[in-house]
Chains A and B, each alone.
Chain A
């Protein structure tokens, strides 16, 4: 059985999905790609907006998400962040 992802990995996967879609994506696509339940995805998106890793763009009746510079920086430094958290025993519980 595959190991469940921890919080850092879920955030990485969501941000990678947005980045790979040229930095703009609909929530349904994130849901499909990130392999999360709808409620969990909403929680993560809310958290990522609050932390300024992504931006929500509302146009007409649709919502899209775009990655920010801070989000891109997270992705480029992901290995160091993950290694730091694991080494110092700060890894979040698996989701």
Chain B
């Protein structure tokens, strides 16, 4: 059995609500990014919009999976077993992992302003191979995304030092929270401490709240300047 994560029974319903919130947050960011792309025609914004679209899709799929396919392992814990689903020809979990990884690779590609599509494909292939041949798939997935998030977080803090923009700092802190959440998630699949899953999800929620706050401030200031 390959376990993606384990969560406590009491958190089951809340977890689905969390995933719907993450789906909505990432969808709002993606939609607004596409709107800004339409106005500016800047490729980085398009890539950024795609990154959040992929993340949004991954959360949407995960919320559906958790609603439909969670099986009870013990009285206390619920386990998402992705080999079982592949056996019954359900590709939901694979799609979730695919969009999740694609989202973070696209985010790295957009924020670091990489321009070569070959780098993007290389990152995708290396990540896919690492997950395919890993014995600890959950650990590999979350450690790889954590590695991407280290680079992204570093980028935001460097941008903050450069521009001294408060919103950039908020996004940087949000990325740091996402990084911590991913690192915690890498331990969740190993039966170490199911409550880590709850802590990880709470930190993730905080991260998206910060990104949405930053977006709200951009929209509000934009309207104010337009009126002036």
Contacts and interface: CB of A to CB of B under 8 A. Distances in A.
Nearest to B217: A87
B86 interface: no
A85 B159 contact: no
A84 interface: yes
Contacts of A93: 113
Interface stretch (A22-30, A31-39, A71-79): A71-79
Interface residues of B, number: 30
Contact of B48 (A81, A83, A90): A90
B165 A86 contact: yes
Contacts, number: 81
Contact of A81 (B40, B111, B156, B168): B40
A38 B122 CA distance: 37
Contacts of B42: 7-8, 81, 85, 90, 92
Interface stretch (B63-71, B130-138, B142-150, B219-227): B219-227
Interface in B143-173: 155-156, 159, 163, 165, 167-168, 170-171
Interface of A: 7-8, 51, 53, 73-74, 76-77, 79-81, 83-93
Interface of B: 32-33, 36, 39-42, 44-45, 48, 110-111, 113, 155-156, 159, 163, 165, 167-168, 170-171, 214, 217-219, 221-222, 225-226
